[in-house]
Amino acid sequence: MRIPQRGQDAEALLATLETYRAKDIDWRSGRTFAYVYDAGREAEAVGKRAYAAFLTENALDPTAFPSLLRLENELVSMGATHLSGGPEAAGNLTTGGTESIILAVKAARDRARALRPEVTRPNMVLPVTAHAAFHKAAWFLGVEPIPVEVDPQTFRAGPDQAKGAIGPDTVLVVGSAPSYAHGVCDDIPGLAALARDRGIPMHVDACVGGWMLPFFRRLGAEVPAFDFSVPGVTSISMDLHKYAFCPKGASLILHRDKSYREHQIFSFSGWTGYTIVNPTVLSTRSGGPMAAAWATLRFIGEDGYERHARALLEATRRIVEGVSGIPGLRVMGRPDFCLVAVASDEVNVFHVVDEMNRRGWYIQAQLGFRGHAANFHLSVHPGVVGRVDEMLGALAECVEIARGLPPTGLSEMVKGAVETLDLASIPPEAFAQLLAVAGIQGTTLPERTAGINEILDALPPPVREGLLRRFFNDLNHIGDEGAP
Ligand X SMILES: Cc1ncc(COP(=O)(O)O)c(C=O)c1O
Q: Which residues of the shown chain bind ligand X in the complex (CB under 6 A)?
A: 96-98, 131, 133, 176, 180, 205, 207-208, 239, 251
In the bound state with ligand X, the residue whose beta carbon lies nearer, of 96 and 224, is: 96
Q: What is the closest distance, in whole angstroms, from the C-beta atom of residue 179 to ligand X in the complex?
A: 6
CB of 250 to ligand X, least distance (A): 9
For ligand X, which residue has the nearest CB? Answer: 97
What minimum distance in Å lies between the beta carbon of 108 and ligand X?
A: 16
For ligand X, the closer CB: 208 or 349: 208
Q: Which is nearer to ligand X, 342 or 399 (CB)?
A: 342
DSSP string, 100-169: HHHHHHHHHHHHHHHH-TT--S-EEEEETTS-THHHHHHHHHT-EEEEE---TTT----HHHHGGG--TT
Query: Smallest Cα–Cα separation from 391: which of 360, 349, 366?
Result: 360
∠ CA 55-57-63, nearest 5°, is: 155
Please, what is the minimum distance in Å from the beta carbon of residue 324 to ligand X? 24
Is residue 98 within 8 Å of residue 136, measured between CB atoms? yes
Tell me the β-bridge partners of 444. 441
Cβ 176 to ligand X shortest distance, Å: 6
**Nearest distance from residue 347's CB to ligand X, in Å?**
26
Nearest residue (CB) to ligand X, 27 versus 65? 27
Please say which residue, 98 or 316, places its beta carbon nearer to ligand X.
98
User: Which of residues 264 and 411 has its CB atom nearest to ligand X in the complex?
Assistant: 264
Nearer to ligand X, 333 or 451 (CB): 333
Rounded least distance, CB 205 to ligand X, Å: 5
Q: Which is nearer to ligand X, 207 or 399 (CB)?
A: 207
The sign one gets for the Cα dihedral 413, 414, 416, 417 is positive
Residues ≥6 apart with Cβ < 8 Å to 166: 125, 173, 194, 195, 198, 200
Q: Least separation, in Å, of the C-beta of 242 and ligand X?
A: 7
State the Cα–Cα distance between residues 315 and 393, nearest whole angstrom: 14
- C-beta of 483: minimal distance to ligand X in Å? 32
CB of 340 to ligand X, least distance (A): 14
CB of 290 to ligand X, least distance (A): 16
Question: Which C-beta is closer to ligand X: that of 202 or that of 440?
Answer: 202
207 dihedral zone (left: phi>0; alpha: psi -120 to 50; beta): alpha
3-class SS letters over 267-287:
EECCCCCCCEEECCCCCCCEC
Q: CB under 8 Å, gap of 24 or more: what pairs does 259-265 form?
A: 260/90, 260/107, 260/111, 260/201, 260/234, 260/235, 261/90, 261/91, 261/92, 261/107, 262/107, 263/106, 263/107, 263/108, 263/109, 263/110, 263/111, 263/114, 264/92, 264/103, 264/104, 264/106, 264/107, 264/110
Residue number, 128 or 417, with CB nearest to ligand X? 128
DSSP 29-83: GT-B-SS-----HHHHHHHHHHHHHHSS-BTT-TTT-HHHHHHHHHHHHHHHHHT
Residues 6+ apart with CB under 8 A from 351: 398, 401, 402, 405, 448, 450
Compare residues 223 and 458 and give the one whose CB is closer to ligand X: 223
